[in-house]
Amino acid sequence: MRRLAILAATLAVAGCGGASYDGGRDRLPGPVPDDVTFAPVESTAVAPPIAMKLLDGTSLDVATLWRDRPVVVFFMASWCSRCGTQQEVFAPIIERYGDAVGFVGVAGRDKAEPLKRWVADHQVGYPVGTDPDLAIWRRYAVRTPPAVAVVAPGGKLMRGWPGGATSEELESALEAVVKD
């Protein structure tokens, strides 16, 4: 019970608060804070493009986010039994990094209404879009959710975790690139 109270408080503080968790454009990160810099990444792998419709109907080219900040890409679905647990891992990381790191959800083979309910139920504070034909999932070699990928500023693919990432794994990847 205490863990749930801490999680709820963490999500509220993380800027994921408000009455609406719609997964739309109002959940895009703001400008990168002035006091944050990013270390160069040695990866030569270029992140495959991600262009999708968000749950509010807005089109998003995720390259606009990773142009100037790292982005955590969460491959998920409303029907995924383990995706809620992965979402819990994100909450303290979102709180720690704020607008320095972008998060985006890519839901595969999902319908808008169940996905909107999942986003609201799990208090998702970042934009979520749909990949109905799994084209984006295939570009990232995702077979089943959850899966997580980190893209460095400039669009270099840093790391991916089929089956989801632990908080330690995700923190380690972000600490390697975010310098504040």
Residue 75 sits in a domain whose CATH number is 3.40.30.10
Range of the domain at 117: 2-179
pLDDT score at 138:
97
Alpha carbons 116 and 94: distance in angstroms, whole number? 20
pLDDT score at 24:
87
Half-sphere exposure of 69 (CA within 13 A, CB side): 24
pTM: 0.87
With contact defined as beta carbons under 8 Å apart, do 92 and 176 qualify?
A: no
For the chain (180 residues), the mean pLDDT of every run of 10, in chain order, is 35 43 87 94 92 95 96 97 94 94 96 93 94 96 97 96 97 93
The structural domain count of the chain equals 1
3 by Cβ neighbours in 10 Å (0-12 / 13-18 / 19+) ranks as exposed
